[in-house]
Amino acid sequence: MSITAPRGTQDILPDRSGDWQNLEKKIREICVLYGFGEVRTPIFESTELFQRGIGETTDVVSKEMYTFADRGGRSMTLRPENTASVVRAFLEHKLYAERKVHKFYYMGPMFRHDRPQAGRYRQFNQFGVEEIGSRDPAVDAEIIAMAFQLFRELGLTDLVLHLNSVGCPACRPVYRQKLLDFFADKHDSLCEDCRARLDKNPLRVLDCKEDGERMITAGVPLITDCLCEECKDHFHKVQSYLTAAGIEFELDPRLVRGLDYYTKTAFEIMYAPLGAQSTICGGGRYDGLIEEVGGPSTPGIGFAVGMERLLLTLREQGLLPPVLKERPVFIVALGDAAKEKAFTLQQSLRGKGIYAEIDMMGRSMKGQMKTADKLAAVFAVIIGDEELAAQCAQVRNMETKEQEAVPFTALVSYIERHKKG
């Protein structure tokens, strides 16, 4: 039986990795513009971190995590998202001692046992940002503006921002009670998962794939009707900043996001041409998360983007830029003695930062020249017995087909000079 990649995973081969590198490069450029520094956290963490940070009633924790016992019997989980890990690192390294806004970004693999589909995998790559330390609503607007700039520079212009406030510990209990009252006579009509969620966190019902939409159309209470004055003021200021920045938005009072740690601002960015599955970015504020996992009360906000889904969108829309491939100098060696000289020359060129290749398949001169053509070589450097005797190589310009003899001692400087010219 042949061994294949596990279901829900993929191999990214060299013919596609250039697209990934271009996307990563653009992401890093935007992050630098906004003052974010890269953070890299472990791929697995203590299971308790995600239980406390994400919430035990969420689908992520209750259904989708890859959890295992290590050799010491400790429960570990492959990270299903990275906000909790960034917060853990923030606390472990006592970064809260420095009173400032801390800006982090990350890219890397996450793991969820979900149903694989186009652009969605069980091992998937995520780009995200976390801005920790400020309650200022301008911070909320800043990271939304950051996401918009990234997408626009990638060519995605038909964007729709859905915006909501999910309240805070002061006003959310009022909304929770209203939801419980609303669902009191609907308990039996809910799916098994939602009946279990109802007592722990009734907001999760709105996020349910089965019952959420049906409850919304049935007239479920809206959280925006229950916001305290502080949350109302914060939400109003976020909207004002976005308007000032020219970012249009749609208020969506039913948007709650899928993780328990969100407070106040929650948002999703949709790319309209994708239709029903149009969300390409989601995030929100989590002012209580750091305290929940054992740290001092510290506000934060972030967003995440599924990179596979983003690349699929860019590919489908014809927005992936061409991947520019470096053109080599190809050294054609005829015979063992010439091969040794070619190998030495190849390393000398590489030492000068020039991409160079030699034949490793024992091909004839004709075969080697075909390989040089296939690689779109800039020059073919031909070395045989005659060239070794004369201590002089034949250098052919592969575009003009012009050829001249160049002494071995001058080859590297000749190629350096002509390749740049």
Distance of CA 57 to the CA centre of its chain: 25
What's the confidence (pLDDT) of residue 8? Answer: 94
What's the confidence (pLDDT) of residue 421? Answer: 59
- Say if strands 263-271 and 159-165 run parallel, antiparallel, or are unpaired: antiparallel
Instruction: Let me know if residue 198 belongs to a domain.
Output: no
CATH of the domain at 296: 3.30.930.10
Q: Which of 316, 343, 378 is the last residue of a domain?
A: 316
Check whether residue 97 and residue 151 sit in a common domain: yes
Q: What is the DSSP annotation of 270-312?
A: EEGGGTTS-EEEEEEE-TTHHHHTTS----EEEEEEEHHHHHH
CATH of the domain at 378: 3.40.50.800
Q: What is the pLDDT of residues 324-349, one digit of tens each?
A: 899 999 999 999 999 999 999 999 99
Check whether residue 155 and residue 288 sit in a common domain: yes
What's the confidence (pLDDT) of residue 259? Answer: 62
Q: What is the pLDDT of residues 105-149, one digit of tens each?
A: 999 999 999 888 877 899 999 999 999 999 999 999 999 999 999
* Total domains present in the chain: 2
Q: Which of 286, 316, 346 is the last residue of a domain?
A: 316
Among 213-222, 305-314, 399-408, name the one with the lowest average pLDDT: 213-222
Check whether residue 258 and residue 351 sit in a common domain: no
Q: pLDDT-based confidence at 313, cuts 50/70/90?
A: very high
- CA pair distance 241, 145, nearest whole angstrom: 10
Instruction: Let me know if residue 201 belongs to a domain.
Output: no
pLDDT higher at 186 or 362: 362
Check whether residue 242 and residue 338 sit in a common domain: no
Range(s) of the domain holding residue 403: 329-420
Is the pLDDT at 216 greater than 70, yes or no? no
Which ranges in 154-228 belong to alpha helices (H)?
172-183, 192-200, 203-206, 212-217
Check whether residue 307 and residue 346 sit in a common domain: no
Instruction: Let me know if residue 81 belongs to a domain.
Output: yes
C-alpha distances in angstroms, 362 versus 139, 149, 359, 378?
A: 61, 51, 7, 22
Check whether residue 159 and residue 295 sit in a common domain: yes
Check whether residue 297 and residue 335 sit in a common domain: no
What's the confidence (pLDDT) of residue 278? Answer: 87
Report the pLDDT averaged over residues 143-166.
96
Structure token pair of residue 63: 């259904």
Q: What angle do CA 165, 34, 249 make, to 5 degrees?
A: 35
Please count the other Cβ atoms lying within 10 Å of the Cβ belonging to residue 37.
Answer: 10
Instruction: Let me know if residue 206 belongs to a domain.
Output: no
- CA pair distance 384, 335, nearest whole angstrom: 7
Buried-exposed string 8-23: b where 16+ CB fall within 10 A, e elsewhere: beeeeeeeeeebbebb
Instruction: Let me know if residue 410 belongs to a domain.
Output: yes
Among 18-32, 184-198, 216-230, 369-383, name the one with the lowest average pLDDT: 184-198
Check whether residue 143 and residue 239 sit in a common domain: yes
pLDDT higher at 286 or 186: 286
Instruction: Let me know if residue 235 belongs to a domain.
Output: yes
Check whether residue 310 and residue 365 sit in a common domain: no
Distance of CA 310 to the CA centre of its chain: 9
What's the confidence (pLDDT) of residue 217? Answer: 62
Report the pLDDT averaged over residues 378-406.
97
Nearest by Cα to 256 from 176, 191, 170: 176
Instruction: Let me know if residue 22 belongs to a domain.
Output: yes
Instruction: Let me know if residue 200 belongs to a domain.
Output: no
Nearest by Cα to 106 from 133, 130, 135, 136: 130
Rounded to the nearest integer, the mean pLDDT of the chain is: 92
- CA pair distance 184, 394, nearest whole angstrom: 87
Check whether residue 368 and residue 255 sit in a common domain: no
- In which order are the strands placed within the sheet that holds 300-306? 37-38, 102-111, 123-132, 300-306, 279-285, 263-271, 159-165, 249-251
Q: Which of 283, 316, 349 is the last residue of a domain?
A: 316
Q: pLDDT-based confidence at 190, cuts 50/70/90?
A: confident
- CA pair distance 223, 179, nearest whole angstrom: 9
Check whether residue 244 and residue 302 sit in a common domain: yes
Check whether residue 25 and residue 134 sit in a common domain: yes
